[in-house]
Structure 1
């Protein structure tokens, strides 16, 4: 999956980011956690601005200094973004809300390398979201942002995996999971 992503050209990335921004406008909620895409992750900062323009309060992750749940801060525009702990990863510079901020959000849009039809999410392997998602309320909408080809029939699951209840893709928009039930 990672190798396939690395082969995606800039034109496709821009096209998909534009499509995702158009689809995300339909998903607004009071408070939405999102992420700033980096590398070959789908999306762009425009997606965050679309959410804000639609009236959502947007929270972005801050990677903690030691492995653990993500911290969160409000995104107030591109001028509020600074380079975080990892090179190329942008984070908001506003007041920290703590990991428990997830308990108060309506929807979480999170990156994934792939998601299967039952909602199993394949991340990048660091476990930050695995440690964070259990802090979300049971009613929080968990949406993995992926490319159309990254919705796959089956992925291996581990006991700590929190299942997604939707995937957002550039071509298909919001796809509710699990599929086939």
Structure 2
């Protein structure tokens, strides 16, 4: 990776982290309500019976209300668990206890299914730091989701969850960066790739 791209990504991530940490509790609650409604709309529109998603961290747009609703509706949800080899294991969401994986990310305590379990889902919902208008997703720099998406032969639709102001004109691009089909923000769903 060129130093210029690395520096641009580092600066953009720092700015996005700062903005996220400065959001008030009421802004976060309002954003989670919007995200929940939009994600339910998206999963219904796609007709997803099985979804790969994630448990949000405190700085991310909240996903837990959506996950609880999917569970109540009987939708199968798989959540990632980071591995030391840079891959993601997957485990079913059960609405029960949570723990932290090797990166400190929240994970379920249910049975681990392994990396290939994601191949059976109808929709993938991923976190992001920002997404640009061409669909390029910038994560937080560890590459777990890029590796997963890049290894899938028949990838279902992939949507990133971000705050409204994190859909930007351009993010710095590297060869391994994987695009998404759209974004879900508190105010709407934006399709980004045909």
Q: Tell me the TM-score normalised to structure 1 length.
A: 0.89
1:5-28 per-position Cα deviation (integer Å, ceiling 9, x unaligned):
121111111110111111111222
- Which range moved further: 114-123 or 96-105? 96-105
Q: For 1:40, which of 59, 83, 87 is the aligned residue? A: 59
Where does residue 106 of structure 1 map in the other structure?
122
Q: For 1:135, which of 151, 156, 168 is the aligned residue? A: 151
Gaps of 5+ in 2: 1-15
Paired residues of 2:78 and 2:118 also in contact (CA < 8 A): no
3-state DSSP class of the match of 1:59? Answer: strand
Question: 1:161 and 1:106 mapped to 2: Cα distance?
Answer: 22
1:89-108 per-position Cα deviation (integer Å, ceiling 9, x unaligned):
32111221111112211111
| Mapped pair 1:97 → 2:113 | yes
Aligned residue runs from structure 1 range 166-177, under 5 A: 166-172=182-188, 174-177=189-192
Gaps of 5+ in 1: none
Paired residues of 2:129 and 2:140 also in contact (CA < 8 A): yes
Question: 2:147 and 2:26 mapped to 1: Cα distance?
Answer: 34
Where does residue 86 of structure 2 map in the other structure?
68
Aligned residue runs from structure 1 range 14-29, under 5 A: 14-28=29-43, 29=48
> Which of the pair is proportionally richer in helix?
2
Q: How many residues align?
A: 175
Q: Which runs of 4+ in 1 moved over 4 A?
A: none
Paired residues of 1:24 and 1:50 also in contact (CA < 8 A): no
Question: In the TM superposition, what is the alpha-carbon distance from 1:52 to its structure 2 partner?
Answer: 2.2
CA RMSD of aligned residues (A): 1.6
Where does residue 125 of structure 1 map in the other structure?
141
